[in-house]
Structure 1
Amino acid sequence: MSFNALEQRDPGNSRWLKLMACVVAMLAIANLQYAWTLFTDSLTESLHASLHQVEIGFSLFIIAQTILVPITGYLVDRFGPRLLVSIAGVFVGASWIWAGVAHSLGELYAANVLGGIGAGVVYGSTIGIALKWFPDRRGLCAGVVAGAFGFGTALTFLPIQWMIESSGHRPALLVFGIIQGAVVIAASPFMTMPPVNWLPAGWESAKAKINARVPQSSRNYTPREMIKTGTFYVLYSMMTLVAFSGLMFAVQLKPIAKTYGLDVAIVAGGLSALSLAGLLDRLMNGLARPFFGWISDHIGRYETMALAFTMEGLAIAALSLFVDKPIWFVLLTGLIFFAWGDIYSLFPSAIADIYGPKYATTNYGIQYTSKGVASILAGPGAALIKDMSDSWLPVMWIMAACNFLAAIMAIFWMKPMVKSLVTSGVTTPLDSHPESPDPRQEPVSDSAVDGISVPAPVTDQSMS
């Protein structure tokens, strides 16, 4: 049966195919972020620049990726993802091709901004598709899509590294730029949003069980309404704290390894500690996202956040003690990437839980800008601290503290806040004059609280 026939028969029948298309597109853009560390040394030499100057390019990529996600999220919510993702594929390919022929920092920065725009469109679109097509498996499916972004570089880490070593960084950027852009374009035709009033089969029977574990809103909050709630800013702060530590390792892994001689220390199978860590880290980061998403569907979002953040803080603290030991470097960075990956399934799921699915793509796009804030700390910020102290240890201590703080916020602040909102019916708006309801939304029941309500019937419109 053709894809179109499957769509016409029942849109829900093809939702897993759409999810797979999202996974493929996310695999294709993973290198733009997670393979960056392989190019930093070559770029500093070829451009006659410092590590700090080159890392500004990484920060510009993340900022461009994150700052435009709310805008692209709005466009996706309004016009659908197919055309936008296909254009993004052109940007994704062109960014690495341009970086491959860049002879100045300005060109490198511009190429990274172009790549960030393309990656932001793909990321925002695919996460939005997962959130809207799978209200019954929100944490798991958002994690599967986000996991592809974390796991993708595991497939290409060694080939890129070998091409850089044998042919230089320019051919590697050109070849993989073409491949990545083509894959995104090929996946785009399969990406659509669910029809108005669509709900998955068996939703009514599953809804009560889901709300018992993970309270879900019976109202859809517009982006403007969302940013007037205190809950949003707590979530934003938590994601910034944890994203900083993960992004720091993503971008600084090779410089850290080189500092301690781990780029030449052979561990197993002829692979250095850096090469083996690069493979394990990407694999663990990808697996973490569906794993923690699935866990959170069963034990709750904030309990899972506290567990993962504490795990990451302990792993970073341990690495600060054993960073010069090759085996420990491989194992502990793998654990750090595993514990960090959860934020990309837990936070989009939490946003959709609290503020409803209708504007989930745009709302999470706003939340996702916290990654841009974190990138400033993780890229040039971390490099500057290292240069000032002549050691990576102070950076690691700060990272561990950020994770412990986020864990405390999740379990001792967010969880009681949500519970209080659900049981007491007391709102916590930042603006004492709530915005007039969107005429496209259903009426809000008296039990609605800051985007979360005591379990109540969900109308078709609320799931559109």
Structure 2
Amino acid sequence: MTMRSLPGSPQRSHQLLAALICMVAASSPQYVWTLFTPALHRDLGVSLPKLQVTFSLVIVVQTLFSPIQGWIGRHVKPSLLIGAGSLITGLSWMTAGQARTLAELYLTYGVLGGIGTGIVYVGVVSLLMGWFPERRGFAAGVAAAGYGMGAMITTFPVAHVVQQDGYRTALTVFGAIIGIVGLGAACFLRRPPDGCETATLSLPASHVLKTPVFWLMFFMMATMATSGLMVTSQLAQIAADHGVAHLTILGLAALPLAMTLDRIANGLTRPLFGLVSDHIGREETMAIAFGAEAIALIAWISLAHDPVWFVLLSGVVFLGWGEIFSLFPATLTETFGTQDASRNYGLLYLSQGLGAVFGGPLAAWLHQSSGSWTPVFAIAVGGDVLTAVLAITALRPLRRAYRARRP
């Protein structure tokens, strides 16, 4: 079945565009958090590991509620659900701008932000995989690209407002923008027509949780999320410790330039590797991408004192881990079917919450205890290598055996 022969295909480009705008609007709480950490660290007078709990809360809450959000998505119109998620996301920033204590920051930026971004993320990925059944890897990649690249638009503006007017103003102003833009785009979202699905055996979440192949995917995604979120949450601190945070390249500050390049790489890698996996296979693509991530991390920590290499290699690092948000959803749906795809992906998405715990405060604690980023990067590299090997030696044969046994 070709894309053009699918029912509802004239609407698909409109659905794709609206969904991407929602993802872009919801991406900033996760991907520009590092811009707020130095000012929050000084203003609240708390340790970096305690402050990084906020970032972990965004991811943990986002993933913890994702199975519930997936279930709600089967009974509520996507325009209502994703619109509500966009409003909650914007509100989380606006209220965080008024936070005076660490507990208030946890509740606003962390908990409220996690709920809002989780609704948008799971809702959009599940919706687009329904609209593009013949290219699930690509569809999941494009959806995730909007989330990965979206903060590219806000990185320099947020950094500028933080520097000129303070982080509280930045949170309030951009929070309002996030909510309004996301809600406006969500109004155009619709479920795909019945004929837009291909015939696939669908299994309920209760069955999926009993299979070894699901838990292997869960472990692999958690391991890759850990190494990626280490960099995402600690980028500003890594730059400061290597003396490049305030250096410039071609007149541009190294840190926001690195963050902008990272957003581009983190976005491009998702549809790119999703499309590649549609042609050469999911596990083969995982092995290539995860292995490249390990090499990039080794090179980056070795050359991070040079601002040019810091910027360029940080982009390569993001290119090597962001594709988990296209490869794993596509592999999961391909393995277990589409009927309960949103809830199944919600369960798998919990693995990112586990990765956030290790990638955020525990990574900061390890750095604080050792006085070096080398142990943190060593663990990340080891996880990348392990996951690349498991993709070929364990996931591929296990998934083939499972699919062969299926009716």
Into which bin does the TM-score normalised by the smaller protein fall? over 0.9
Superposition map of 1:242-261 within 5 A: 242-261=224-243
Query: How far did residue 88 of structure 1 move?
Result: 1.4
- Out of 235, 259, 262, the residue aligned to residue 281 of structure 1 is 262
Deviates more, 1:104-113 or 1:82-91: 82-91
- Out of 333, 338, 353, the residue aligned to residue 352 of structure 1 is 333
- Asked if structure 1 preserves the Cα contact closer than 8 Å seen for 2:51 and 2:102, the reply is yes
User: RMSD value over aligned CA atoms?
Assistant: 1.4
Letter in 2 for 1:192: R
The residue aligned with 1:151 is 149
Query: How far did residue 422 of structure 1 move?
Result: 4.0
The residue aligned with 2:3 is none
Q: Which digits, 9 at most, give the CA deviation of each residue in 1:110-149, with x for residues without a partner? A: 0021011010000011000111111111111111110010
Letter in 1 for 2:59: I
Inter-partner Cα distance in structure 2 for 1:222 and 1:232: 13
2:357 maps to 1:372: no
Inter-partner Cα distance in structure 1 for 2:344 and 2:13: 23
Letter in 2 for 1:140: F
Instruction: Indicate the structure with greater helix content.
Output: 2
Inter-partner Cα distance in structure 1 for 2:79 and 2:210: 31
Unaligned stretches of 5+ residues in structure 1: 1-8, 204-216, 426-446, 449-464
- Out of 31, 34, 42, the residue aligned to residue 34 of structure 1 is 31
- Out of 202, 219, 223, the residue aligned to residue 237 of structure 1 is 219
Letter in 2 for 1:275: P
2:237 maps to 1:264: no
Query: How far did residue 386 of structure 1 move?
Result: 0.3
Inter-partner Cα distance in structure 1 for 2:301 and 2:270: 25
- Asked if structure 2 preserves the Cα contact closer than 8 Å seen for 1:320 and 1:397, the reply is no
Query: How far did residue 194 of structure 1 move?
Result: 2.0
The residue aligned with 2:209 is 227
Paired residue total: 401
Q: Which digits, 9 at most, give the CA deviation of each residue in 1:148-206, with x for residues without a partner? A: 1000111111111111111110110011000001111101122222234x236xx6xxx
Letter in 2 for 1:129: L
Inter-partner Cα distance in structure 2 for 1:341 and 1:58: 17
Inter-partner Cα distance in structure 1 for 2:252 and 2:309: 15
TM-score normalised by L of structure 1: 0.84
Inter-partner Cα distance in structure 2 for 1:148 and 1:79: 23
SS of the residue aligned with 1:38?
A: helix
- Asked if structure 1 preserves the Cα contact closer than 8 Å seen for 2:93 and 2:174, the reply is yes
The residue aligned with 1:123 is 121
Superposition map of 1:424-439 within 5 A: 425=405
TM-score normalised by L of structure 2: 0.96
Letter in 2 for 1:32: P
- Asked if structure 2 preserves the Cα contact closer than 8 Å seen for 1:19 and 1:129, the reply is no
| Runs of 4 or more consecutive aligned structure 1 residues displaced over 4 Å after TM superposition | none
Letter in 2 for 1:278: M
2:59 maps to 1:77: no
Query: How far did residue 19 of structure 1 move?
Result: 1.4
- Out of 6, 13, 35, the residue aligned to residue 16 of structure 1 is 13
Letter in 2 for 1:142: A
The residue aligned with 1:402 is 383
Inter-partner Cα distance in structure 1 for 2:25 and 2:148: 11
Inter-partner Cα distance in structure 1 for 2:217 and 2:107: 31
Q: Which digits, 9 at most, give the CA deviation of each residue in 1:381-425, with x for residues without a partner? A: 0000000000111100100000000000101111122233345x3
Query: How far did residue 10 of structure 1 move?
Result: 5.5
Query: How far did residue 60 of structure 1 move?
Result: 0.9
Percent of paired sites with the same residue: 40
SS of the residue aligned with 1:381?
A: helix
Inter-partner Cα distance in structure 2 for 1:69 and 1:405: 27
Letter in 2 for 1:249: V
Inter-partner Cα distance in structure 2 for 1:87 and 1:42: 30
Inter-partner Cα distance in structure 1 for 2:117 and 2:287: 29
Inter-partner Cα distance in structure 2 for 1:335 and 1:147: 15
Unaligned stretches of 5+ residues in structure 2: 1-5
